[in-house]
Amino acid sequence: MEALVAVVIAVLVSCGVYLLLRARTFPVILGLTLLSYAVNLFIFVMGRLRAGAPAVIGSSETYADPIPQALVLTAIVIGFAMTAFLLVLSLRARAELGNDHVDGGAAIGEKPAKPVRPLEEDEV
């Protein structure tokens, strides 16, 4: 079972990272969401895999580790907040820059425009 969980996490991470490296904002956000599933699962299974033993006193003989669960619970909610914020950021970027490229607009095959700070006159 552990191997199966590891494979699932590995696939989620791979897919998340690949999307994270894309050039447009929406796939990047999808990638981040996939990655946060993976991370949540990863932290969760740090408490080891236990079936039928929820951490509710009196419900069974032994209990699963409640600490990773508490951590992940808030992580899920905050992950949602982060996704929402990034989404709105990408909307804003789209409105301000006219496109949804992560670098603020570079056509295919073109190097991204680099903001160069011009030297002030008296710096010479």
Partner 1 sequence: MEILLIIALPLLGAGLPLLTERFGRNICAISAALGPALSLILILQYTPALLQHQMFFLHQPWVPQLGLDFSLRLDGLGMIFALMILVIGLLVILYARYYISSEDSLGRLYALLQLFMMAMLGIVLSDNLLLLVVFWELTSLMSFLLIGYWSHRTEARKGARMALAITGAGGLCLLAGALILGQIVGSYNLDMILNSAALIQAHWLYPVVLILILIGAFTKSAQFPFYFWLPHAMAAPTPASAYLHSATMVKAGVFLLARLYPALSGSDLWFYLVTFTGLATLVFGAYNALFKHDLKGLLAYSTISHLGLITMLFGFSSDLATIAALFHIVNHATFKASLFMAAGIIDHETGTRDMRKIFGLARFMPVTATVAMVSASAMAGVPLLNGFLSKEMFFSETLKLDQLGNFSYIFPLLATFAGIFAVAYSYRFIHDVFFNGEPNKDLPIYPPHEAPLYMILPMAVLGLLCLALGTMPNLLVSPLLHAAAYAVLGTDIPRYHLAIWHGFNLPLLMSFVALGGGLLLYYQRKGLFAFYERGYRVDQKVVFEKRIQRLVRLAQRCTDAVENGSLQRSVAVIIGATLVMAAVEFWPLGNILGEIPLTPIDGISVIMAAIIIVAAVVTVASHHNRYAALLALSAVGLVVALAFVRFSAPDLALTQISVEVITIILLMLALYFLPQLTPYESSWRRAIRDMVLAGGTGIAVGLFTLAILTRPYDTSLADFFIANSVSGGGGTNVVNVILVDFRGFDTFGEITVLAIAGLGVFLMLQGLELPVPRTDRHGRQWTRDPYPIIITVLSRMFFPLALMVSVFIFLRGHNQPGGGFIAGLITAIALILQYICSGTEWVRQRLPVDYGRMSVVGILVAVFTGMGSWLFGHPFLTTTFTHLHLPLIGDIELASAMIFDIGVYVTVVGAALLMLSQLGNLAQTIDPHTDPDFTAEST
Q: What Cα–Cα distance (Å) separates residue 56 from each residue in 28, 31, 47?
A: 38, 34, 15
Q: Residue 100, interface with partner 1 (CB under 8 A)?
A: yes
Q: Which of 61, 97, 102, 105 binds partner 1 (CB under 8 A)?
A: 102
Least separation in angstroms between residue 32's CB and partner 1 is: 11
Q: Which of 78, 97, 105, 118 binds partner 1 (CB under 8 A)?
A: 78
Q: Residue 32, interface with partner 1 (CB under 8 A)?
A: no
Least separation in angstroms between residue 93's CB and partner 1 is: 10
Instruction: Determine if residue 87 is left, alpha or beta; phi over 0 gives left, psi from -120 to 50 gives alpha, anything else beta.
Output: alpha
Instruction: Determine if residue 35 is left, alpha or beta; phi over 0 gives left, psi from -120 to 50 gives alpha, anything else beta.
Output: alpha
Q: Residue 115, interface with partner 1 (CB under 8 A)?
A: yes
* Distant-in-sequence, close-in-space partners of 87: CB < 8 Å, separation ≥ 6: 29
Residue pair 33/80 in contact (Cβ under 8 Å)? The answer is: no
Least separation in angstroms between residue 123's CB and partner 1 is: 7
Least separation in angstroms between residue 10's CB and partner 1 is: 3
Alpha-carbon distance of 66 to 68, in angstroms, equals 6
Footprint on residues 36-65 left by partner 1 (CB under 8 A): 37-38, 40-42, 44-59, 63-65
Q: Residue 1, interface with partner 1 (CB under 8 A)?
A: yes
